[in-house]
Structure 1
């Protein structure tokens, strides 16, 4: 399928598809006419790439793991193929995600405590004033 069709099927603008190709995240073939042509798996692969980007992975991280992507919810990476560099990239990302989760939880708890202190109707059911 051509870029336009892939864009329509996935909802990803063609400009972003070209960017993903430039970042070596998509690998279209060239037809006899020189146009980019994507196989049927391209929509699935693009969904995987978009999901990884949405989760905060960088294009550098994603380029390191494409051979092990099997679908939007699954990454298959045999332990023997995980390089120390890739492991470090992924661990660093996990650490940053956890730090954001911890910060969000603290902020949630502080806001909830503030609301409970200033609004009597935000307490647990049965204790609301």
Structure 2
């Protein structure tokens, strides 16, 4: 089966199939003219690869899982790898939730500014200029140069 047919039947681009080959996830044979050909089983394998990517796994992790996938038997190492990936995703979700919560606080401060969070709402750091108190001419509010 040629690359275009595999791509169409699996619901991916031909570029994705080439990427899978580069990463060692999929193998093809070449015709004498250099065209890629795949076995019928490539469609199902590509669909599985897509599911693994959708589950948040990297191509490097999927390559590590391929021996188990190809023989249809999971190893303890494969299950440990999957558990570690789940833990990584859970930690990333917690980090994203913390970032979202911090952004919610920033949005709340922007919508409801208070003097505590907004320097422009505080008392001025200095008193308004008073020319009479400074001993200068009231008509000229600039300080006298010495």
TM range (shorter): 0.5 to 0.7
Question: What is the count of residue pairs matched by the alignment?
Answer: 99
1:92 maps to 2:89: no
- 2:4 aligns to what? 4
Structure 1 match to 2:53: 53
- Cα offsets for 1:27-65 (capped at 9, x unmatched): 111223321110010001001111101110011100001
Other structure's SS at 1:96 match = helix
Are the equivalent residues in 2 in contact too, given 1:48–1:69 (CA < 8 A)?
Answer: no
Q: Which has the higher strand share?
A: 1
Deviation at 1:10, TM superposition (A): 1.4
| RMSD of Structure 2 on Structure 1 (CA) | 2.7
Q: Which runs of 5+ in 2 are unaligned?
A: 101-146
User: In structure 1, what is the Cα distance between the partners aligned to 2:15 and 2:35?
Assistant: 15
Higher CA-based Rg: 2
Where do residues 68-79 of structure 1 align in structure 2 (5 Å cutoff)?
A: 68-69=68-69, 76-79=73-76
Structure 1 unaligned regions, length at least 5: 108-129
Sort the Cα spacing of 1:91 and 1:78 in 2 relative to 1 into closer, same or farther, 3 A.
closer
8 Å CA contact 1:29–1:37 kept in 2: the answer is yes
Cα offset for 1:67?
1.8
Alpha-carbon shift at residue 91 of structure 1 (Å): 3.2
**TM alignment of 1:82-121, pairs within 5 A:** 82=77, 87=80, 89-99=81-91
TM-score under structure 2 normalisation?
0.56
Could you tell me the TM-score, scaled by structure 1's length?
Answer: 0.63
